[in-house]
Chains A and B, each alone.
Chain A
């Protein structure tokens, strides 16, 4: 029993996921038993497919499968595409999150819903929508093509655009929530003390939400890394150009399921490593 934990007034207990470290551990007996059960079932639902993957993994053939040139090439494309998409999410998503959290918008609910749409759109539909908009015959794409000679479909840049489209909401939603929670009192204080808009942003606003920036970046990157449908529909599939690891996995499933399992393991391992590291380092648990 921690001294003091029981005597702390309710109002002292920090709220929310971004609360300070040192929060007293919540006593388990407070939780209704049924809830705990369902919680375990949910955890099982998440873990079980991964266990299924692991028990079918061709461990001994793993090194040879993963050193195949096709797989390495797909890994290279995957890294370029997912990192490019993550960079785009930060550069475009941070201003959007700031606008959503700080500016008075005319239809805030509608705007927020629009931001989250890519999360619910089936990725194949997202890819088709991107074709309608940015394809060679698309709404904007036809002008890109005739004015600048730029055609995004079937290029690595197109893959980046597709991955960024589906990953952007993850970054924006995470950062916007943190900005709202942090409030703007500190920003205003900084402004009162004579700090300019940029200085306030760099020295006050962003440092306050640093954990959310990192979390949002990690989520967006993970989403971009696993992206399949939108990339395939918008950018197609060609080795060394647009064929990412998820696409390689999908095709491998047709010719050699063992290889598909092996490649999926790489995706799982990479994502798990990054997410675990980030959580421990940047997000209070």
Chain B
């Protein structure tokens, strides 16, 4: 076999070369995956909508079976980073004002951001409230298993702020890394109470307990056209989410989002 006669030296160089090729190939695949919006854009007739991952269900309801639109769903900060890196999109919907502000200040969004929904912080218990939780004060009870989101993620930051303001020091048993994990543990009955978003109540089949202290603590969602001069199709799609009886607005309501 010819390969067998190659000297050790050349052999090693070739192997290194092959490794580099493999690495470059895999990196470009990763890059292509990140810039999914750019890659999947078939023509100028297709509207690319980037939406925060908590809107996955809403986006699916609104755009299911509709041609001429490609939804891209990911975490808000990921979407903003993709736009900054040159991903092509027509509409951006973020789950917080901060992330939208970043997109605007980086120059990747030139349209005017409009609030389209709010996701309220809610005191949640497993269905039927087995721990007999009656209010936010019960988060200090040591006989209950209490879960919050970690302060590093938005729902946890919101929860900490709300509890600080209400002067409540919770007897926390776990700080979950995302709100879905927290909602799952509540729905399994492994936790007695926790602070999740309003949208998690219906999705995870939880019970909500009235907590007036949480009223003003919510995450605001924003929508904006990426271009300063959006096409008619893009404008119509933004209208779907901002007008009172738009298909997007109705879907948001259906999934438990509040008005902005």
- Chain A residues at the B interface, C-beta cutoff of 8 Å: 28-29, 32-34, 36-37, 40-41, 44-45, 48, 128, 131-132, 135-137, 151, 153-154, 232-233, 235-239, 242-243, 247, 250-252, 254-255
Contact = CB atoms under 8 A, between A and B. Distances in A.
B204 to A, nearest CB: 14
Given A37-B18, A154-B145, A251-B150, 7 more contacts: A41-B22, A48-B23, A131-B185, A235-B174, A237-B177, A250-B177, A254-B150
Contacts, number: 83
B66 interface: no
B97 interface: no
Interface residues of B, number: 30
Contacts of A242: 174
Interface in B1-49: 1, 3-4, 6, 8, 11, 14-16, 18-19, 22-23
A47 B146 CA distance: 41
Contact of A232 (B145, B153, B181): B181
Counting from the closest, the 9 A-B pairs by CB-CB distance are A236-B174, A33-B3, A254-B152, A40-B15, A44-B19, A137-B189, A154-B173, A251-B152, A255-B152
B18 A251 contact: no
A36 B1 CA distance: 14
Main secondary structure of the interface of A (DSSP, over half): helix
A136 B23 contact: no
Contact of A36 (B11, B23, B176): B11
Interface string B166-182: 00000011111100010
B147 interface: yes
A238 B175 contact: yes
Contacts of B152: 251-252, 254-255
Contact of B172 (A48, A153, A238): A238
Contacts of B189: 135-137
Interface string B196-221: 00000000000000000000000000
Contacts of B4: 29, 32-33
A32 B3 contact: yes
B57 interface: no
B153 A254 contact: yes
B15 A37 contact: yes
A269 to B, nearest CB: 24
B188 interface: yes
B117 to A, nearest CB: 23
A243 B152 CA distance: 14
